Amino acid sequence: MGLDLYNKKRDFAKTAEPEGKPGRKSGQRFLIQKHDARRLHYDFRLELDGVLKSWAVTRGPSPNPQDKRLAVEVEDHPVAYGTFEGIIPKGQYGGGTVMMWDEGTWEPLDDPHKGLKAGSLKFVLHGKRLSGEWALVRMKPRPKGPDRANWLLIKHDDAAARDDAAEAWLETQATSITTGRRMEEIATNTQRVWTSRTRDEPPKRKQSKSMLEFIEPELATLAVAVPKGKDWVHEIKFDGYRTQALIENGEVRLLTRTGLDWTHRFRPLPDYLAQMPVTSAILDGEIVAVDEGGRADFKTLQATLAGEADVPLQFYVFDLLHSDGEDLRALPLVSRKARLQRLFNGNHFGGRVHYSEHFTKDAADLKDRLCALDQEGLICKRANAPYHSGRNRAWLKVKCHKRQEFVIGGFTLPKAGSKGIGALLIGYFQEGRLTYAGKVGTGFTLDSAIDLRRRLDLIAQKYHPFSDIPPEFKRGAHWVAPHLVAEVQFGEWTSDGRLRHPSFQGLREDKPPQDIHRDRPLSPTEVRKAEDVPAARKPKRRAPASEKSPTDVVGGVAISSPDRVVFPGTDITKKDVAEYYLSVADHILPHIAGRPISTIRCPQGIGGQCFFQRHLTQAAIPHVNDTGLPVNGREDDYIMITDAHGLISLMQWGVMEIHPRGCMATTPNRPDRLIFDLDPDPEADWADVVAGAAEVRERMTEFDLQSFLKTTGGKGLHVVIPIQPQYDWSAIKAFTRAVAESMTHDSPRRFVAQASKSKRKGRVFIDYLRNDFTATAVAPYAVRARPGAPVAMPIDWKALSRDLDPAGFTLENTPAHLGRRKADPWADMARMNQRLSPKILKALNII
């Protein structure tokens, strides 16, 4: 259709709408704008060939496959149109209120050009509200109907489908995904009108250089008693979301305790915080919603953020970490709070931002009074302590109720005739394994139970994720990947480690599952010891190597010769390698635990002798196990680890590299991962490696297989495809070989599928030989035994470019990279339930 019709409908001398100019050809953006013009509708847009293909969906999209929504095809829009939320002035074409209702990416299931021409476009959406498979089907035109084509927007019946009424569901999705505002809030905000004098965009899209960075918050340790003495101050413990506010020149960002940017979800608090009398500041506090009884209530907060309730959010600020260019963390707590309190003198901030007072006397009595009012409890802090990131004993939390977060690993069905769930099966991580803690069958509303069921169905898996669940709890259970975190209140822990009288409070989206451990409170004796500990200690002097202990402990494992430099030319020691692997344990273990592994050992460092080892020596190694699978030609068995202790024990053994096989030890003849290793010849062009990885991904998409990308810490790339373990190695190897040879046939000057060095000259070897019974591939996040300590790193497909350095991630820069990373690009791998189609294998004469 092009953009001619779009430009003809608009007078750009009177409107500031972007002039119709084609954008990049390769974009795959998807978005929906809720548009209240002559009548309310939803503008559904798919980016294709540099424009936004657009349809007006009169009743809004429905995730129910039984519904067929009328979608009227309208003129193509420019890609720049997809960032607007605000008001188009009356009298202009499309005048009215516009909300950013959903956004993400889309993937066509077939050729989209042929689909549009034929009137049947099938695709997958990856949005914040809409996901899964959808279709647009063109209706037959009426003899005297309008010129515009009518289509039907239909949801396919998959894991993302819903069977409830779409209208009721749409009512719960009534806020903007970029600013958190409702339509009426946008309509009454005259500061965001599209005119020829302003091109204002939602705050999320503003491009300003930020000088302030997220600071890992200080966390409190659970205690059973209130500490005594004048060295402590006490604050009310709030029942909400821990939040850090970063203020710069009137711009405000609100970040969760893990650094997620939730500014748009906490509207309009940023507008009030922008009134703070500072140029720049970092505030630490808690965002809450107060129920009708005047109590901060987590369920009310959850309902408000979900659009199910409309309760004004409140921000209670209890610390000031940065102010007008000055880092205040080294100051005593009471000094920081005095500086913070001055910011509130004479300022009201709409009654939504508050200074959190502290108390110095009668803390035990105060705790009793708070508990009588059904409040959360107290946070007790050392008055003269500096601010230290992480959990420590300078801050203690004394709760009125036993309550903590747990990871959901499964659920049971409700009674016949009911919707949602019956009970949740929950646990916590202990040494890298999910430990079962019990069932939660109360605390749900009908809406929350239905929403939970929808979320859980999306991450369903065949096997339970727990390490120790009793058989009686498995009956009737449906298992899910351990990705969701629930807040649970309970009475006591039983002697066998189960919760008594648990009650569901809500989901915690601000805490990653791997950080959820069992809260073990300090005893009264330990609290008394904490009372006597000095508020701040001077850092210990770093002793010379000759003075140091011959062993050190990392993650509970003794490391001998911890100060041995293992990467010549650097100061990276054996202990540094162990501490690195401990820091990434939650990332790497899902890809190596329970698998046969091979290792590269360098007992004296990479400057000494390194060798490949797949079996244990005669001496036993704690936490490292035999698999019972014999190494070819030997009486020895492949080794395996199951937890973080095993991982660090490998480092103590001198291991540098870890190479898992593409199968679990329990199903050695049934691989669950395909791997394509793109290995370039020294004279090959890096652009061909990039193109090869992209082509593998595209070919896998043709087989309905989603793939994942990682650098190798060397000169190439790996494309990894998780599959269900249904075929043997010969079938998998034959399939990957067919793909590699097909790529070679189509591009013989770029790719080769033979390992012969003479035939690889100047080309990229598509190595399918990784898919064999004894083959391995370097693990994600593993250190390579090479100069500079490079690391194999999972990356998002968006990062694939000619500028990518496949050896650019190292042991030293990876922790900072992981800290900045907004999401794990391999997070979805564990929940993939994809299979190789037998039709494909039969067509290739493989089975």
Would you name the residues annotated as active-site residues? Answer: 237
Query: What are the residues facing 555 on neighbouring strands?
Result: none
Q: By 3-state DSSP, what share of the chain in percent is helix, strand and coil, each rounded to 5? A: 25, 30, 45
End-to-end CA distance of the chain: 46
| 588, 781 Cβ separation under 8 angstroms | yes
| 770, 696 Cβ separation under 8 angstroms | no
- CA neighbor of 779 nearest in space, from 647, 688, 652: 647
| 494, 470 Cβ separation under 8 angstroms | no
C-alpha angle 108-110-115 in degrees, rounded to nearest 5: 90
In the numeric block, which tokens belong to residue 115? 């689909």
Q: Rounded CA gap, 84 and 33, in Å? A: 8
Amino acid type, 305: L
Q: Rounded CA gap, 643 and 623, in Å? A: 8
| 160, 455 Cβ separation under 8 angstroms | no
For tokens 């102010």, the residue is 323
Query: What are the residues facing 547 on neighbouring strands?
Result: none
**Dihedral sign for Cα atoms in the order 480, 482, 483, 484:** positive
Residue 312: CB atoms within 10 Å: 12
**Dihedral sign for Cα atoms in the order 556, 561, 563, 568:** negative
Query: What are the residues facing 630 on neighbouring strands?
Result: 637
Q: Is 203 left (phi over 0), alpha (psi -120 to 50) or beta?
A: alpha
At 717, which helix (H) or strand (E)? strand 717-722
| 573 Cβ neighbours under 8 A, 6+ residues apart | 562, 563, 564, 565, 566
Q: Rounded CA gap, 370 and 382, in Å? A: 21
| Helix, strand or coil, per DSSP, at residue 703 | coil
**Exposure string over 568-582, b if 16+ CB within 10 A, otherwise e:** eeeebbbbbbbbbbb
- CA neighbor of 739 nearest in space, from 755, 749, 726, 753: 753
C-alpha angle 17-20-25 in degrees, rounded to nearest 5: 125
Q: Which pairing describes strands 673-680 and 764-767: parallel, antiparallel, or unpaired? A: antiparallel
Q: 644-652 and 585-592 helices cross at what angle (nearest 10)? A: 90
For the residues of 72-87, what is the DSSP string, one character each?
EEEEEEEGGGGG--EE
Residue 534: CA atoms inside 13 Å, Cβ hemisphere, count? 4
**Dihedral sign for Cα atoms in the order 48, 52, 58, 61:** positive
